Chains A and B, each alone.
Chain A
C-alpha cells in the first residue's frame, strides 16, 4: 500500500519554512525520508522508528506519529540547496519491503 504525501508541490522563497506530510493506512514500523534532485538518485535524509521520536538533520527535522500512521518532514529557513523532490518510504510492521510515496516537489526561489 503506497503512502500518500501532501502537498504534491511547494514553491517557497529562500528562508521560508515548509512541511511535507506522509500518511499510511497500515501500522508502520518505520518511515524513511529521501531527497532526489533532478537526474540524480534519491539520497537518504533520515529514518524514524515507531516510538514518536523526532529527528533532525541540519535545519531539516521529522516526526513520526505511529498512532496516526503519519510522519511529517519540517524544513526551516529553507536554502536553495533544499530544492528537489522529497519521498517518504514506509515499512509496515511485519513487512520487509520499503514502499515509497509519490513524492513532493519542492522549489526554492531566491
Chain B
C-alpha cells in the first residue's frame, strides 16, 4: 500500500517569498490534514479537509496561508509571504474517518 506522498522534502527561502507544498494522501482516505511542527513541539493542526470541504481551519493564519484540496484527493498548502517564524516541518496526514493518521515524510521549511 502506497503511503502519504509529500514534496518537496526540503525548502529554503527568504522571508517575504512564497512557497507551496504538495500532498497526495493514501487512496480512499477522505480526511486530509496539514500540521505544522516547530522544532521541539508537537504537531499543530493548520487545516483539516473532509473530501474537498474544510472541517477545521481555526489555526490557519489566513492572511498568509492558504490550502486547497481539489477533487478531494491531492492538496496544496501555500505560504505567501513567508515569515521567519514559519520555519518548521509541514506534515501532511490522511485517515479513513476518525481512525489512525498516516503521516507523510514532511517538508522541512527554512525561512532566512
Neighbouring A residues of B103 by C-beta, 8 Å: 41-43
B56 touches A97 (CB 8 A): yes
A41 touches B45 (CB 8 A): no
A2 touches B105 (CB 8 A): no
- How many Cβ-Cβ contacts under 8 Å join chain A to chain B? 49
- A contact face: mostly helix, strand, loop, or mixed: strand
Chain A interface size, under 10 / 10 to 19 / 20 to 34 / 35 or more: 20 to 34
Question: With A32-B101, A41-B103, A47-B99 given, is the CB distance from A101 to B42 under 8 Å?
Answer: yes
Give the complex CA separation of A89 and B102 in angstroms: 13
Neighbouring B residues of A44 by C-beta, 8 Å: 100-102
A97 touches B55 (CB 8 A): yes
18 contacts across the A-B interface (CB closer than 8 A): A29-B98, A32-B100, A32-B101, A34-B101, A40-B105, A41-B104, A41-B106, A43-B103, A44-B101, A44-B102, A47-B99, A96-B56, A97-B45, A97-B48, A98-B33, A100-B44, A102-B41, A103-B42
Chain A interface residues toward B at CB < 8 A: 2, 29-30, 32, 34, 40-44, 47, 87, 89, 91, 96-103
